[in-house]
Amino acid sequence: MTAIRSRGESIVLLAITIAGLLIFIGPLFVGRGFPQSTALFSALIACSALAVVAVALQTRHLSTRLLAVLAALVALDATLRLVVVIGVLGFSPIFFLIIVGGLVMGPGFGFALGALTLVLSAVLTAGFGPWLPYQMLACGWVGMGAGYFGRWPFARQHVWLVALYGAIAGFLYGVLLDFWEWPFLLGAGSSPIGWAPDLSAAALARRFAAFYLTTSFLYDAFRAAGNLLLVGLLGGPVALALGRFRRRFLVEWAVEPAEHVTSVANIAGDVRTPA
């Protein structure tokens, strides 16, 4: 039964991931002609996050009380981003709770936490723009990846592995956002590291690598280092606290096998009237 529930959640997350990747790589093939509907994409991703939560509730990966925990973490994380909108270069504290929350609560919880944190912080900071849906997806994937990573028992027992995941996620987040942003930053063919139409996949990969190392690597390194330090120093205690919430608020009912159930007839037969 648990495997069936996990499969249902994973199918929904896989569908969202495939659709999201198409949105990210679309500009690489179309360039500036790729549609940029901020409101539509953001609404679709927010609805996807809520759909993941609904599936998690139906499959009993979440309870209504843990839903309240999710809402509280989203509000807290969005407030952190309000206090430190940009951070030190690429560093931002919002990734800490997304990673640890996903690690403890699971991939669906992690995806919803990442995506909804970004949309709420955009409301608080008036940060709506064509970048928002991409940030929502990328942050959602960071939390989702932490959730799947947390299913490896060895990882949950060693916080340094989770911190290493946070560092890698910090770089991957930046690479994903550059996939979308790159075709719009420089005029087509105007720079040797800019996007240009009609190039082969190998030529695009070389140009993108040069662009990323030149413009974004150092910026993302601060994000990766910040995630590494925060998760390494605070990840253990926060994960323990969230684990207590999960154990207390998520009750999993199991049907006891028939051979372990004592029938009424057996009980009556075993009871003897004292002589």
pLDDT, position 102: 93
And the tokens for 53? Answer: 């939560």
pLDDT at 174: 92
Contact 173, 212 (CB under 8 A): no
Q: Are 235 and 162 in contact (CB under 8 A)?
A: yes
In this prediction, residue 110 carries a pLDDT of: 92
Residue 275 CB contacts under 8 Å (≥ 6 apart), including other chains: none
Q: Using CA atoms in the order 224, 227, 232, 236, what is the torsion angle rounded to 10 degrees?
A: -150
Cβ–Cβ under 8 Å, residues 113 and 143: yes
Q: Please say whether the beta carbons of 194 and 155 come within 8 A.
A: no
CA pair distance 123, 137, nearest whole angstrom: 16
Q: Which two tokens stand for residue 256?
A: 């006891």
As a whole number of angstroms, the distance between CA 48 and CA 56 comes to: 12
- Rounded to 10 degrees, the C-alpha dihedral 74/101/96/170 comes to -110
Judged on CB neighbours under 10 Å (0-12, 13-18, 19+), 213 is exposed
pLDDT at 31: 67
Please report the pLDDT score of residue 262 as a whole number: 47
d(CA 97, CA 108): 14
Residues in the chain predicted with pLDDT less than 50, given as ranges, are 1-2, 253-255, 260-275
> Looking at residue 47, what is its pLDDT?
75
Q: What are 145's two structure tokens?
A: 């990846």
Which burial class, exposed, middle or buried, applies to 126 when counting CB atoms under 10 A from its CB (0-12, 13-18, 19+)?
exposed
The whole-number pLDDT of residue 268 equals 45
Q: Which of 273, 17, 29, 30 is nearest to 148 (CA)?
A: 17
Closest CA to 70 of 39, 49, 40: 49
Is residue 144 within 8 Å of residue 13, measured between CB atoms? Answer: yes
Query: How many of the other CB atoms lie within 10 Å of CB of 274?
Result: 3
State the Cα–Cα distance between residues 254 and 24, nearest whole angstrom.
42
Q: Is 179 exposed, middle or buried, given 0-12, 13-18 or 19+ CB atoms closer than 10 A?
A: buried
Cβ 45 vs Cβ 136: under 8 Å = yes
Q: Where are the alpha helices (DSSP H) in the chain?
A: 2-30, 38-58, 64-83, 94-105, 107-125, 132-149, 153-157, 159-185, 201-215, 217-249, 264-270
